[in-house]
Amino acid sequence: MASFSRLNKIALLGLGAVGGTLAYYQIGKSEKKFHVQNSWTTNFTPSVKWEKNWDHREPESIVKPVQSNKPEDENRYNEQIEKSKSKAVRHLFLIRHGQYNIDGATDKERILTELGRQQADLTGKRLADLDIKWDLLVRSTMTRAQETATIIAKHLPQDIEVKDCQLIEEGAPVPPEPPVGHWRPEPKQFFQDGARIEAAFRRYFHRAPPEQPRDSYTLLVCHANVIRFFVCKALQFPAEGWLRISLNHGSITWLSILPNGNVVLRGLSDTGHMQPKCITSR
C-alpha cells in the first residue's frame, strides 16, 4: 500500500476538528475526494424547541389578528404589535438563605447559625458592590429567609421596596428524577407545593411590560428547592431535573428575561464573594 504524503497526513488529522475541510488521500494511483461537515449541519433537528410564548406575553398572542386585507388595517395591526413589545430586561437575583439550625422542630426554631448570619452579611456586601439600582426585595415568609433578607437589606438603599411572599416558601416542586433515597415526601406534598411554587414562577418570571422604560432588578430571598425549580422552568429544562442542581447558602443566582422572551442564566449559586471556609450547602 502506498504511504501517505506529509500533506495528506495533515489533512486527515484535521478532519475531526474542522468541519467542511476537503481532504484527499491516495491509494495506489486512485484519488478520492471527501467533503466533511459537522454533524449538526446535516439534517439537524432540535430535540426540544424553545416555546416563545412561555409567559403568554408574545405580542402576536395579545393583539387581535387582522380581519381584512385593507392596508390601513395591516398598518394598524403592525403598530399595535410594536406597542405590545417589551423594551426592557427584567433581571431576577435569586438568593438562598444562610445556613440555619436544621434541628429546629418548628420554623421559628430554624434560625440562622452564626455562620449563616455571616454568609448573609457577605452576600449583602456583594450585592451592594454590584452598584445596581434595586427595584424590589421579595422575601419568603420562613424565618431563615426573613433573617437573611433583613441582614442583606442593611447593605442596600433604604428606599428599596420590600415585600413578603408565602408563594416562595420552601417545598417540594415536582418528584425529582432521579429520585433521592433519603428524601421522599408524600405525593400530596408535591401536589400542594408544586402548585404554589408554579404560581410563584408565574408571578415573578415574565418579560417586562411594554410600558416599562428601563431594565429592572428584583431580589428574591428564598430557598434551594424553589430556586432550582425556577432555573429549570425559566430555561425550559425538564422540571424533574431540579434536584440535580446544588446551591450554596447565601448564594446568588442571576437570570435575565430579555424583551423577546429569551432567558439568560448569568450566574448559578455564586459564592465567589465568600472565603472557602464560609461556603456550605447543607
Q: Is it the case that residue 4 has pLDDT exceeding 80?
A: no
Query: Is the same domain home to 265 and 161?
Result: yes
Its domain, for residue 186, covers 90-278
pTM: 0.83
Query: Is the same domain home to 210 and 255?
Result: yes
Residue 161 CA to chain centroid, in angstroms?
23
CATH of the domain at 151: 3.40.50.1240
Query: Is the same domain home to 32 and 99?
Result: no
- CA-based diameter of the chain, in Å? 85
Could you tell me the three cell numbers for 201? 414562577
Query: Is the same domain home to 33 and 125?
Result: no
Query: Is the same domain home to 81 and 142?
Result: no
Helix (H) or strand (E) holding 282: none
Give strand pairing partners of 90.
Answer: 216, 257
Could you tell me the three cell numbers for 42? 446535516
Q: Is it the case that residue 136 has pLDDT exceeding 80?
A: yes
Establish if 1 belongs to a structural domain: no
Cβ 112 vs Cβ 279: under 8 Å: no
**CA nearest to 204, candidates 249, 152, 163:** 163
Dihedral angle over CA of 140, 142, 144, 147, nearest 10: 70
Q: Report pLDDT digits (tens) over 186-229.
A: 888 999 999 999 999 999 999 999 999 999 999 999 999 999 99
Q: Is it the case that residue 7 has pLDDT exceeding 70?
A: no
What's the total number of domains in the chain? 3
**pLDDT grade, residue 44 (50/70/90)?**
confident
Helix (H) or strand (E) holding 212: none
More confident site: 31 or 73:
73
What per-residue confidence (pLDDT) applies to 222? 98
Of 23, 58, 85, the position where a domain reaches its end is: 85
Q: Is it the case that residue 13 has pLDDT exceeding 70?
A: no
